[in-house]
Amino acid sequence: MTPEASVQFDANGRLRHFLTTEGIGRDTLIEILDVAGSFISVGERRIKKVPLLHGKTVVNLFFEPSTRTRTTFEIAAKRLSADVINMNATRLSTTKGESVLDTVKTLEAMHTDMFVVRDKASGTAHLIAEHAPRNVSIINAGDGRHAHPTQAMLDMFTIRQRKGAFEPLAVAITGDILHSRVARSQIHALRQLGVSDLRLIGPATLLPTEIEKLGVRTFFNMDEGVEGADVLIMLRLQTERMDGQLLPGPEEYFRYYGLTERRLKRARPDAIVMHPGPMNRGLEIASSVADGPQSVILAQVTNGIAVRMAIMAKLLGEAGREGQQ
pLDDT tops 50 at residue 253: yes
Cβ atoms < 10 Å from Cβ of 170: 21
| pLDDT for the residue numbered 278 | 87
210/148: higher pLDDT? 148
pLDDT tops 80 at residue 249: no
Average pLDDT over residues 89-107: 71
pLDDT in tens, 258-296: 999 999 999 999 999 999 988 999 999 999 999 999 999
Q: Which residue ranges make up each domain of the chain? A: 3-148+303-324, 149-301
Average pLDDT over residues 221-239: 93
Confidence of residue 12 (pLDDT cuts 50, 70, 90): confident
Asked if 113 and 59 touch (Cβ cutoff 8 Å), the reply is no
| pLDDT for the residue numbered 1 | 66
| pLDDT for the residue numbered 322 | 35
Confidence of residue 129 (pLDDT cuts 50, 70, 90): very high
| pLDDT for the residue numbered 73 | 97
| Strand order, beta sheet including 197-201 | 217-219, 197-201, 170-174, 231-234, 272-274
Cβ neighbours for 241, distance < 8 A, ≥ 6 positions apart:
144, 145, 179
Mean pLDDT of the chain: 90
What is the pTM for the complete model shown? Answer: 0.91
| pLDDT for the residue numbered 241 | 46
pLDDT tops 60 at residue 54: yes
- The CATH code for residues 3-148+303-324 is 3.40.50.1370
Nearest to 264 by CA among 237, 280, 286, 297: 286
| pLDDT for the residue numbered 242 | 47
HEC letters along 285-320: ECHHHHCCCCECHHHHHHHHHHHHHHHHHHHCCCCC
Residues 51, 82: Cα–Cα separation, whole Å: 8
Cβ neighbours for 45, distance < 8 A, ≥ 6 positions apart:
none
Same fold, 3-148+303-324 and 149-301: yes
| pLDDT for the residue numbered 97 | 55
Pick left, alpha or beta for residue 301 (phi over 0 → left; psi -120 to 50 → alpha; otherwise beta): alpha
| pLDDT for the residue numbered 103 | 82
| pLDDT for the residue numbered 317 | 73
Confidence of residue 3 (pLDDT cuts 50, 70, 90): low
Cβ neighbours for 315, distance < 8 A, ≥ 6 positions apart:
15, 16, 17, 18, 114, 137, 139
Q: How far apart are the first and last CA of the chain?
A: 38
DSSP states of 48-74: ---STTTT-EEEEEESS--HHHHHHHH
| CATH 3.30.2080.10 is right for the domain spanning 149-301 | no
pLDDT in tens, 165-201: 999 999 999 999 998 999 999 999 999 999 999 999 9
Residues 48, 81: Cα–Cα separation, whole Å: 10
| pLDDT for the residue numbered 66 | 85
